A and B are shown apart, each in its own frame.
Chain A
Amino acid sequence: MEALAVMQGLTKVYGNTLAVNNLNLTIPRGKIIGLLGPNGSGKTTLIKMINGLLTPTAGSILINGMAPGPETKARIAYLPERTYLQSGMKVCDLVDYFEDFYADFDKNRAFSMLGALNIQPAAQLKTLSKGTKEKVQLILVMSRHADLFILDEPIAGVDPAARDYILNTIITNYDENASILLSTHLISDIENILDEVIFIRNGQVITHMPVDRIREEYGQSVDAYFRRVFAC
């Protein structure tokens, strides 16, 4: 099956800082993949380049065979690590907004998840707590039938009780041909749902392998293996 996303020689330089360094990576279909690395390793830079929010200094990115643009954005559901919604809008208006722009948005699924997390559709975003805003964003993103879900720190700001629901949502709400690229520092919370992990350091992929292989070959959990690889 054709790869979902292919990155070749991808490089991003900020001034004198090399954030992503000649990175080569292939993201397959139908996998939940953890994008893991220490702070400043280039995870968010890579994610932003895939989403067209950063222009690469060199190299190429192809998603479904296309460079980042309106066509790829229609097929990627992206959750950034910050609040990107307009605070003056109501939750129900945001649902309408996503429905208007994304053909793959499932409005019923969004309202169902809002109900499960006790979020009032009539509530104005600016009246919600930071954690609830993050839940709203995650619900909007996960209510799409996208090919690639890119979630940057999806559970960092929410309470542990909501984390289980969110992780369950992630597992159950994606199609078998879709993939999820999940970046987080809370490895132990998510490692049970991961199929593969990508370790990134100094803007380069140092490991890309199935989670089962880490357990079989190294006899360690992903969390323990991560601590060993990135030990200070």
Chain B
Amino acid sequence: MLKKLFKYEWKAFWKVPTAINVFLGIMTFIGIISLASPFWELDIRGIEIMLGLAVFFYILAIAAGSIGVTIAITARFYKNIYTDEGYLTNTLPVTARQIILSKLFVGVIWSFITGAAVSISVFSLIYTASLSYSDVNIFYEFWQDFPEFLRFFREEAKISFFLFAFLGLIYLILSTALSILKLYTAIALGQLFSRHKVAGAVMWYIGEYVVFEIITSFLRGIPSYSNGLFSFFFSYGISYYNSNSYSVLLSMLIAIGFCLAVCAGLYFLTEHMLKNRLNLD
């Protein structure tokens, strides 16, 4: 049944994030053409302001695209489970677990695709700009420095680059699932309100945010959980690796462990609400 739910969830959801990603792609293409052309080198009055505005709107657009996909994931969960559509979703012969997981898988995949699209877009523009306006080929430079990069991981951070990349990927998947589960849990808990359930969900989300901030501010004291693996890695991992040769690996494992534990907690709370406290209006 999970496979069938996933199939229909994918079919129902793909259009919105695809449109957002196509829009990002078109914008990136225009940006590349623009940066590759000599337009920005023309001696036109106010060209710096135009460049500043173009960069501002580009940043605004990629932020809006990412937020748009998150909003679409949230709206889909709410609409398909807690509004009229929920009368069908919740009377299918499937478990609450299968319903949540099918939506979570699709949400994580599209968040990942969008994240990758944004990264490729930003990198493409930086690469084009570096080729057009400087002598630095960042691809070439990176390739030249790659052996040194690997040596740094192996000898100084005491972790193989590939293990680091693998653990980083797991962390990214878990942190993406965590951000979606925070929204799912807030929506599910919002159902505890007899009226104004959406406002209740927003209140729960703000509550979750505050609790997470408090917890992470405590956890930053020990090199473990933080706002992001990479900020955590650069903040703590590098400064600790001299004194503790396993600190990078250990820190990553702790970060993954915390993320997994919080994901599990939020998931079971959402499942409990859907399984035992469902009250459709």
Contact = CB atoms under 8 A, between A and B. Distances in A.
Contact of A101 (B1, B84, B277, B278): B1
Size category of the binding interface on chain B: 20 to 34
A165 interface: no
Interface residues of A, number: 27
Nearest to B79: A86
B278 A54 contact: yes
B194 A15 contact: yes
A208 interface: no
Contact of B276 (A55, A73, A76, A82): A55
A82 B85 CA distance: 9
A55 B96 CA distance: 14
A100 B4 contact: yes
B84 A84 contact: yes
B88 interface: yes
Contact of A76 (B4, B80, B91, B94): B91
A149 interface: no
- Chain A interface, DSSP helix/strand/loop, else mixed: loop
Interface in B74-91: 80, 84-88, 90-91
Contacts of A76: 91
A74 B1 CA distance: 12
Interface of B: 1, 4, 8, 12, 80, 84-88, 90-95, 194, 276-280
Given A73-B92, A82-B84, 18 more contacts: A51-B90, A53-B86, A53-B91, A55-B276, A55-B278, A70-B95, A74-B93, A78-B91, A80-B87, A84-B84, A84-B85, A85-B88, A86-B80, A89-B12, A100-B8, A101-B1, A101-B4, A101-B93
